[in-house]
Amino acid sequence: MAISIPKGTHDIIANEARGYDLIEEVCANVATVYGFDPLRTPVFESTELFNRGVGESSDIVTKEMYTFLDKGKRSITLRPEGTAGIVRSVISNKLHAQADLPLKYYYTGPMFRYERPQLGRFRQFHQFGVESIGVNSIYEDIEVVFLGHEILRNLGFEKITLKINSLGDGPTRSNYKSALQSFFKDKVGHMCPDCKHRYETNPLRILDCKVPEDKLIAEGAPKITQFLSDKAKQDFATVLEKLDGFEIPYEIDDHLVRGLDYYSGLIFEFSYITSEGKDYGALGGGGHYDRLVKELDGPNLEGVGFAFGIERLHAVMSDEGLLNDKIVTDDVHIMSLGDLARGDAIDLGETLRSMGLRVILNYEDKSLKALFKRAERNGAKVSVIIGEDEVKNEILQVKNMATEEQTAVSYEEAVNYIADLFKQAHLDHHHDHDDCDCGHDHESHDCECEHDEKEAEICACGHSELVDGECECGHHHDHEEKECCGGNNKDKDHECCGGNHGHGDDKECCGGHGHKKE
């Protein structure tokens, strides 16, 4: 019997994987603009880290960890989240003593929780997260919320829901916990087993219960706002003021507690309901933590961070069509019929690929009908047919798949002809030429990165920069008076180097067909 994939996991294939790459790239680019550096920690850590870090009363630690003894009989856990590992790394590497505070790191990778799989919930999932550790200022917390919001905006999200709450400081939370225990004392007997357990270990978590009857009971519970210290109230007011100032909409949710034990002060969650009304759960969430570093035997430093779930970001973006123009389709299918044609087909393929086109070749004899079907399935913009007659006569059949026009073109002219098709018909190239390197989408948003996409634009295909002209290869590169040879042909008045194209005494080749000015 075939081996099936473990429950709650999924393979991320082809364009879906490209979507993940893109999301991670945009997240990293925006985090970089906010001063964060990457940090990669192990996928597994000693179990104690999460017991102490994430907290004994959290669902994660009580029910969801993938824990096992390794061959050396050490208790190991696959990381259920990233914050504890980052804090462990800061302490192990004494980063707080080596670098300026705050330490600002971002991370991305798989996380593991033994949860009941459902829409947007997996047992192996991916997070992009950030942690800023070492500066205890409400403005640092605000920056981190801004960063989360900015990432979503750069991914193209428009109707972002931001829920926020404050858990206050230590005394606030212990007073509030006592108040909750008094409130739930004569009610908890009628609540779910989890709530009974939460009543003993962390009554705050009762507010997070998803059982509808328990939710109803919890609605009457006292609010944390009644218990906040003056400082916590002032901090929360500052957050709201800044969010208002930057016109970031938010909802104050005094039942928001978050599922991890390390939070204090500001906590927040981002969510999104798709146009079709789908809710994949929180896209991301985070908050301030005042004791975590110390509880893991580090210095007395506070931190703030958040994590997004990449699966959920990807699901919403697919549903909302935000990834459509990132889907890679084929540029050219070269259909060779018979072995004689294969050799010429591969030569042409290599030349077109050196121009940055995505080229697919076939090496088995299939009917033209089957080959055209494959080209259509994969969105090819141009098909080229090379059969025995074509080889004999040194011609090719080139078909523009959009107009269905098929033309016989000589071998000599083929590369320029195909390049022309890409240029003249504005056939979509699989690369997105509108993206600025910063990862911000300048088309649909007012980007605040201050990059000028026109000047900074670099074609992802490896050809050189756009200034004001167009390259015949279908990409947009200025070649001044020099014409691009499009392939391995000669330049107007300079010799072609046969792949690496020098285009003039004063021009250096950039490795593709782009032509640097200097």
C-alpha to C-alpha distance for 216 and 210, rounded to whole angstroms:
10
Q: Is 284 helix (H, G, I), strand (E, B) or coil?
A: strand
- CB contact at 8 A, 466 and 514: no
Residues 6+ apart with CB under 8 A from 207: 180, 218, 221, 255, 257
| Among residues 12, 16, 32, 115, the one that binds ligand HAM under rule CB under 6 A | 115
The CB-nearest residue to ligand HAM is 309
Among 82, 203, 265, 514, binds ligand HAM (CB under 6 A): 82
**376: CB partners within 8 A, 6+ apart:** 401
Taking residues 254 to 293 in sequence order and writing x for each that binds ligand HAM by CB under 6 A, - otherwise, the string is -----xx---------------------xxxxxx------
The reply to whether 113 sits near ligand HAM by the rule CB under 6 A is yes
Q: Site for ligand HAM (CB under 6 A): which residue of 309, 349, 486, 514? A: 309
- Tell me which residues in 346-375 interact with ligand HAM (CB under 6 A): none
Closest CA to 372 of 326, 343, 406: 406
Minimum CB separation from ligand HAM for residue 216, in Å? 24
Q: Quick check: 392 and 373 in contact, CB under 8 A? A: no
- Site for ligand HAM contains 307 (CB under 6 A): yes
| Choice from 20, 106, 199, 306 touching ligand HAM (CB under 6 A) | 306
For residue 299, cis peptide bond before it (omega within 30 degrees of 0):
no
Cα Rg, the chain, nearest whole Å: 29
Q: Binding segment for ligand HAM among 24-32, 96-104, 125-133, 229-237 (CB under 6 A)? A: 125-133
What are the tokens at 100?
A: 């300026």
> Counting contacts by CB under 6 A, is residue 302 touching ligand HAM?
no
Token pair for residue 486?
Answer: 């499009």
Q: Residue 389 in 3-state DSSP?
A: helix
Tell which one of 24, 81, 194, 302 touches ligand HAM (CB under 6 A).
Answer: 81
- Distance in Å, CB of 60 to ligand HAM, minimum: 7
155 near ligand HAM (CB under 6 A): no
Considering only residues 186 through 245, tell me which ones interact with ligand HAM, judged by CB under 6 A.
Answer: none
Task: Identify the residue among 47, 57, 77, 83 touching ligand HAM (CB under 6 A).
Answer: 83
In the complex with ligand HAM, the residue whose CB is nearer, 133 or 384, is: 133
The minimum distance between CB 144 and ligand HAM, in angstroms, equals 8
Dist. CA 185–CA 179, nearest whole Å: 10
In which order are the strands placed within the sheet that holds 382-386?
359-361, 332-336, 382-386, 395-400, 405-410
Furthest CA-CA distance within the chain: 93
Applying CB under 6 A, which residues contact ligand HAM?
81-83, 113, 115, 120-122, 125, 127, 129, 131, 259-260, 282-287, 305-309, 311-312
